A = this chain, B = another copy of it.
Amino acid sequence: MIKTFDDLIKAARRAGPKTVAVAAAQDRDVLMAVDNAYKYGIINPVLIGKRDDIEAIARDISVDLSGWQVIDTADKIEACRKAVELVATGRAALPMKGFVDTSVILKAILDKEIGLMTGRLLSHVGVLAVPGYDRLFVQSDAAMNISPSVEDKVHIINNAVEVAHALGNDMPKVAVICAVEKVNPKMPATVDAQQLVRMNEQGLIKGCIVGGPFALDNAVSVEAAMHKGINHPVAGRADVLITPDIESGNILNKAMEYFGRADKAGIIMGASAPIVLTSRASSDRSKLNSIALAVTVAGK
Chain B residues, CB < 8 A from A27 = none
- Asked if A250 contacts B281 (CB within 8 A), the reply is no
Residues 207-246 of chain A, each 1 if its beta carbon lies under 8 Å from chain B, else 0: 0000000011100110010011000000000000001111
Complex contacts, A187 vs chain B, CB 8 Å: 146, 246-247
Taking a contact as CB atoms under 8 Å apart, the answer to whether B179 and A255 are in contact is: no
Q: How distant is the Cα of A59 from the Cα of B257 in the complex, in angstroms?
A: 47
Stretch at the interface among A69-77, A194-202, A258-266: A258-266
Question: Separation in Å of the A141 CB from the closest CB of chain B?
Answer: 10
**Which residue of chain B is the closest to A143 with respect to CB atoms?**
B179
Residues of A within 8 A of B (CB): 130, 132, 142-143, 146, 177-180, 186-187, 189, 215-217, 220-221, 224, 227-228, 243-252, 254-262, 280-281
Name the residue of chain B whose CB is nearest to the CB of A224: B281
A254 to B280, CA, bound (A): 28
- Cβ–Cβ < 8 Å partners of A251 in chain B: 177, 179, 216, 243, 248, 251-252, 255
Residues of chain B contacted by A249 (CB below 8 angstroms) = 179
CA distance A258 to B262 in the complex (A): 12
Q: A266 to chain B: closest CB distance in Å?
A: 13
A-B contacts, 7 of them at CB < 8 A, read A179-B251, A189-B247, A217-B254, A247-B247, A251-B255, A252-B252, A260-B260
A279 vs B246: C-alpha distance when bound (angstroms)? 28
| 19 more CB-based (< 8 A) A-B contacts, given A216-B258, A251-B255 | A146-B186, A146-B187, A177-B247, A180-B250, A187-B246, A189-B247, A215-B254, A216-B251, A216-B255, A217-B257, A224-B258, A228-B281, A245-B247, A245-B248, A252-B255, A255-B255, A255-B259, A255-B260, A259-B260
Given A228-B281, A259-B256, A260-B260, A250–B179 Cβ distance below 8 Å?
Answer: yes
Complex CA distance for A246 and B182, rounded to whole angstroms = 14
- Which residues of B are found within 8 Å of A177, using beta-carbon distances? 247, 251
CB contacts (< 8 Å) of A252 on chain B: these are: 251-252, 255
Question: Please, which residues of chain B bring their CB within 8 A of the CB of A248?
Answer: 245, 247-248, 251
- Closest Cβ–Cβ distance, residue A130 to chain B (whole Å): 5
Chain B residues near A247: list those with CB within 8 A. Answer: 177-179, 187, 189, 243-245, 247-248
A80 CB to closest chain B CB, in angstroms? 21
Give the distance in Å from the alpha carbon of A130 to the alpha carbon of B281 in the complex.
Answer: 23
CA distance A259 to B238 in the complex (A): 14
Instruction: Quote the shortest CB–CB distance from A258 to chain B (angstroms).
Output: 6
Query: Once the chains are docked, how many angstroms separate the CA of A216 from the CA of B257?
Result: 10
